[in-house]
């Protein structure tokens, strides 16, 4: 893995403290009723993350470059460092390391709601990545894009899921392992 990659969970999900809109046949993998398996949810979120990264590689890599540029060594040109890290990131696939082994069951009968929360979060992050991709490294570094910006708003689907299944959002749960 390149030193210029920032893991998706650090970059995206941890910053949102939320989760994210469509129901699909894959929801059945989470369980149509009763407690879903943590492993099934983990596999589903991992799959969605991989697809998301492929679709938003430019924004992901531009933000990675902005982070690297913003924290570049003294005397280095932050914009040039950003461009270098951006190019390096685009040249190799983003990391998708995840282990879904031995996760506990999910004590929540809400597979469609979980799916919706994950989808809505990814959609929200995708819009942010699209905005970032449209900017130059020089603009991102000079604007302080790494440390500024509006505070993310938790998608309504996640607010509802948090109320229905608060245990999904406790430390050590399968969703918080992905930064949700």
**pLDDT tens sequence across 80-114:** 999 999 999 999 876 666 677 766 677 788 888 88
Inside any domain, residue 132: yes
Number of structural domains in the chain: 1
Is the pLDDT score of 22 beyond 60?
Answer: no
Inside any domain, residue 61: yes
Inside any domain, residue 3: no
Inside any domain, residue 93: yes
Rounded CA separation 64/58 (Å): 10
Average pLDDT for 45-59? 88
φ, ψ of residue 154 to 5 degrees: the values are -65, 125
For the whole model, what pTM was predicted? 0.71
Q: Is 105 helix (H, G, I), strand (E, B) or coil?
A: strand
Inside any domain, residue 31: no
pLDDT per residue over 128-178, tens digit each?
899 999 999 999 988 765 555 567 788 999 999 999 988 888 776 656 655
Return the pLDDT at 102: 67
Return the pLDDT at 1: 33
φ, ψ of residue 36 to 5 degrees: the values are -85, 155
Inside any domain, residue 120: yes
Inside any domain, residue 26: no
Which of 20-29, 49-58, 65-74, 121-130 has the weakest average pLDDT? 20-29
Which of 43-57, 89-103, 112-126 has the weakest average pLDDT? 89-103
Q: Could you tell me the two tokens for 74?
A: 């003294």
Contact 137, 62 (CB under 8 A): yes
How long is the chain?
A: 180
Is the pLDDT score of 77 beyond 90?
Answer: yes
Find the domain containing 67 and state its range.
8-21+37-97+107-177
Rounded CA separation 131/96 (Å): 23
Inside any domain, residue 135: yes
Average pLDDT for 60-68? 92
Question: How high is the mean pLDDT of the chain?
Answer: 74
């Amino acid at each position: 893995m390149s030193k210029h990659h920032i893991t998706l969970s650090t970059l995206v999900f941890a910053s949102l403290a939320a989760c994210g809109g469509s129901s699909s046949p894959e929801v059945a993998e989470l369980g149509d009723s009763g407690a879903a398996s943590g492993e099934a949810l983990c596999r589903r979120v991992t799959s969605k993350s991989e697809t998301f990264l492929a679709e938003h590689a430019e924004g992901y890599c531009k933000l990675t470059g902005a982070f690297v540029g913003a924290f570049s060594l003294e005397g280095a040109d932050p914009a040039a460092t950003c461009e270098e890290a951006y190019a390096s990131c685009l040249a190799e696939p983003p990391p998708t390391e995840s282990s879904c082994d031995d996760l506990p069951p999910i004590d929540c009968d809400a597979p469609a709601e979980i799916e919706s929360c994950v989808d809505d979060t990814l959609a929200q992050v995708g819009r942010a990545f699209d905005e970032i991709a449209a900017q130059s490294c020089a603009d991102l570094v000079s604007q302080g894009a790494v440390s500024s910006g509006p505070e993310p708003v938790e998608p309504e689907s996640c607010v509802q899921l948090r109320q229905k299944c608060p245990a999904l959002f406790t430390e050590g749960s399968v969703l918080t392992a992905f930064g949700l």
